[in-house]
Amino acid sequence: MTISSPNNAPVTLQQLLEVNSSHKQGLQQVWTAMVAASANQAATQDKSNHINVVANIPFHQFRLDSRQLEMNDAFILLKSQTPNCQKSRDYLSQAAKNAAFILSEVDPIALFTTANISSFTDITSSGDSALHAQQQLAALSCPVLYVPNIRDFLGDLIQSNLQYQQPVTLPKVVAVTGTNGKTTISQLVAQLTQLTGMSSAVMGTAGNGRLGALVQASHTTGDALAVQQFLYQMGTENAELLALEASSHGLDQQRLQSMPVSVAIYTNLSRDHLDYHADMAEYASAKAKLFDRAHFPDLTHAIINIDDEYAQVMIDTAQASDVIVWTYSLNPSKTATFVAADIKPSLQGVEITLRSDINSNGSGNEKISNINIVSPLLGRFNVANLLAAIAASVALSVNSNDFDNGIYSDVERIAAVVPQLQGAVGRMQRVPSNDGCFIVDYAHTPDALSQVLASLKTHCKGQLWAVFGCGGDRDAGKRPLMAQAGLAGADQVILTADNPRTEDPNVILQDMQAGMSTEQYQRTHIEPARQAAIEYAVSHAAADDIVVIAGKGHETYQEINHVRYDFDDSIILQQTLAQAGRV
């Protein structure tokens, strides 16, 4: 989503600093950091690399993609996650033809010194080659400023430019991080706040926008420009609350820098994205950034799932930043701020006895409260998601100026609208049928799949079927774990393609079968074509069986060799059920 301001008047970096706006203090810090960074570089290699070179050059918008660059925009050159100096140099040279100036996270001297290498590390320049590189750089059509720490204040710069064109009040932000539950919780927070009087929007895997009008997103957490433009757009639409998903990639790459996150939620951590993170400790460290006021100075409350083994990492980070920590749990024997003391699940939803004890975290004088809640959301794990969403909604009320009725009355007010909630698309989504029970779910990790199957197993009078695969070009070590999770939780398993991307689906399926026993093979059906796999499940499932189509959920495509073909599990399932005469 690209947002063009109504005026789009040219502005300079110096003017952004001087304008009388709510961002002025933050911009002053940005300016100081940029001056320090550029001065340091100028002192060591090139006297022309100083912020004064670009400070008074008018520009229109910041751009991160050279293909979107228009005349006199300011281009930000960031390091690629698969770095290649040749490509970065090409981007730089192409952008220089139209850009007013370029701010580069990559050392431009190194780019013009090195012809083509696979890494940015240990690049040095000396002698004639460095002189030649400086000459090439000087010959470009616009100045290039090397700012290696640009990510530390990029969001501030982008939002300040947007606000310069037309000041708007930005919505408060609730950010959700964790391996599972981000989409559901962010949508539940938006629904709960909207049902209790706050205009809300969401940003994440299932789409971006106001509730009921989501636009499909390409990433869980967009780049810094997309995130800031969307926040600003929601401000122009008078949204008061934005609930967003904070992926580990987005946090690690500082895409959420400058987002006014006031409430942060942690769900859980299980094996995922180890093709990006070196190990689980690094994965957890990336998630923990969300609870650090050094990164998110507006943060007041951390909502943390105390049942997860990595919870203490998040708690320690939040407490070190003097953030109020509220915990939630499905274990009635645990001391947590919000506890599901009793859970009665069914295929129609769940009845919950919510025990809330704000006093357990030293944030009030109220007594422990027990409230009965009826939720339409399927699955035990959705109880945890609901507790997190309720806690976040209460925290927002505590932060609001009109909060004067006490925390527990607000818990009751929020709990009263829970029966009106709708589950996120592709999350335990039941597709109508005359007999049997057919569910579409996004579960694409071993832990998520195990939770989905465990939630449904208790309601299954017949056999529980699981149809799923694994994505290509991703963590191959997860593949046999996914198969074992399905076999442990389901009676019948159908292994099929997910998003194979550039890999052969049969190779992925072969990886998934590693370590399977003879007994497991006997209740496993292999069908690489996903539509055929769904058709097989529908034709073989009995009237008392439950079938789960897992892994893709809300996705409306299947990616094969860089092409996204139309494929929506719920639509394919509906069509297959109709053809089988089961609707």
Q: Which of 413, 16, 25 has the alpha carbon at shortest distance from 192?
A: 413
Residue 169: both structure tokens together: 């009040």
Query: SS3 for 213-257, per residue?
Result: CCECCCCCCCCHHHHHHHHHHHHHCCCCEEEEECCHHHHHCCCCC
> So what's the pLDDT on residue 90?
87
Residue 163 counted as domain residue: no
- Last residue of some domain: 94, 124, 156? 156
Give residue 99's pLDDT.
Answer: 97
In this prediction, residue 3 carries a pLDDT of 44
Note the pLDDT of residue 367.
58
Residue that finishes a domain, picked among 156, 184, 210: 156
Query: Is there a single domain that holds both residue 231 and residue 314?
Result: yes
Q: What pLDDT, on a 0 to 100 scale, did the predictor assign at position 129? A: 72
> Are the C-beta atoms of residues 98 and 89 closer than 8 Å to each other?
no
Same domain for 433 and 406, yes or no, is no
Structure tokens that stand for 69 in this block? 């660059």
Neighbours of 539 (CB within 10 A): 11
Last residue of a domain, one of 125, 156, 187: 156
Total number of domains constituting the chain: 3
Q: What count of other Cβ atoms lies within 10 Å of the Cβ of residue 413? A: 17
Which residues belong to the annotated binding site for meso-2,6-diaminopimelate? 474, 498-501, 551, 555
- The pLDDT score that the predictor gives to residue 83 is 62
**CATH number assigned to the domain comprising residue 575:** 3.90.190.20
pLDDT of residue 449: 96
pLDDT at 409: 76
Q: Are strands 207-210 and 200-204 parallel, antiparallel or unpaired?
A: antiparallel
Quick one: DSSP state of residue 55? Answer: T
Q: In whole angstroms, give the CA distance from residue 370 to residue 332.
A: 12
Q: Both 152 and 179 in a single domain? A: no
User: Do 137 and 183 have their domain in common?
Assistant: no
Residue 523, in any domain of the structure: yes
Return per-residue pLDDT of the chain as tens, 583 residues.
444 444 578 999 988 887 655 444 556 666 776 776 666 555 545 556 678 889 999 999 999 998 999 999 999 999 876 666 788 888 899 999 999 999 999 888 888 886 444 444 444 444 567 787 788 888 899 999 988 889 999 999 999 999 998 999 999 999 999 988 999 999 999 999 999 999 999 999 888 999 888 887 766 678 999 999 999 999 999 999 999 999 988 998 999 999 999 999 999 987 554 556 567 888 888 899 999 999 999 999 999 999 999 999 999 999 999 999 999 999 999 999 999 999 998 888 999 999 998 864 444 445 577 999 999 999 889 999 999 999 999 999 887 654 445 566 789 999 999 999 998 889 999 999 999 999 999 999 998 999 999 999 988 999 999 999 999 999 999 999 999 999 999 999 999 999 999 999 999 999 999 999 999 999 999 999 999 999 999 999 999 999 999 999 999 999 999 999 999 999 999 999 999 999 9
Cβ neighbours around 564 below 10 Å, total: 12
pLDDT score of 271: 59
CATH classification of the domain holding 299: 3.40.1190.10
Q: Considering only CA atoms, which of 239, 238, 245 is closest in space to residue 201?
A: 239
Residues 95 and 202 in one domain: no
At 131, phi and psi to the nearest 5?
-65, -45
Q: Is the dihedral of CA 63, 64, 65, 66 positive or negative?
A: positive
In this structure, what CATH number is given to the domain that contains residue 48?
3.40.1390.10
Q: Per the domain annotation, does 5 fall within a domain?
A: no
**Res 398: pLDDT:** 82
Q: Is residue 371 part of a domain?
A: no
Looking at residue 126, its pLDDT comes to: 46
Return d(Cα 21, Cα 220) in angstroms, integer.
30
Q: Are residues 178 and 297 in the same domain?
A: yes
Q: How many CB atoms lie within 10 A of CB 21?
A: 15
- Contact assessment for residue 160 and residue 169, using Cβ atoms and an 8 Å cutoff: no
- Cα separation, 22 vs 170, in Å, equals 11
Whether 321 is covered by a domain: the verdict is: yes
**479 and 553 co-located in one domain:** yes
Distance of CA 32 to the CA centre of its chain: 30
Asked whether residue 421 is domain-assigned, the answer is no
**96 and 119 both lie in a single domain:** yes
* Same domain membership, residue 214 and residue 137: no
pLDDT at 19: 67
Answer yes or no: do 242 and 103 share one domain: no
* Phi–psi pair at 37, nearest 5 degrees: -65, -45
**Which structure tokens are listed for 275?**
């093709």
Pairing of strands 546-550, 557-560: unpaired
Instruction: Provide the annotated binding site.
Output: 64, 66, 178-184, 220-221, 247, 253, 255, 474, 498-501, 551, 555
Annotated binding residues for ATP, written as ranges, equal 178-184
CA dihedral defined by 164, 166, 168, 170, rounded to 10 degrees?
-50
pLDDT at residue 39, as a whole number:
61
Q: Are residues 90 and 174 in the same domain?
A: no
Listed residue (540, 549, 345, 542) closest to 430, CA to CA? 549
Q: Say what the pTM is.
A: 0.85
346 located within any domain: no
Amino acid symbol at 152: D
Instruction: Give phi and psi for 429, each to the nearest 5.
Output: -90, 115
Tokens 């639409």 correspond to 237
Nearest partner of 16 among 74, 65, 71, 69, judged by Cα: 74
Q: What secondary structure, in 3-state letters, does 72-124 show?
A: CCEEEECCCCCCCHHHHHHHHHHHHCCCCEEEECCCHHHHHHCCCCCCCCCCC
Which residues form the domain of 83? 11-156
Co-location of 172 and 309 in the same domain: yes
* Both structure tokens of 391: 């806690």
Residue in the structure block whose two tokens are 């009030």: 364
Q: 373 in a domain, yes or no?
A: no
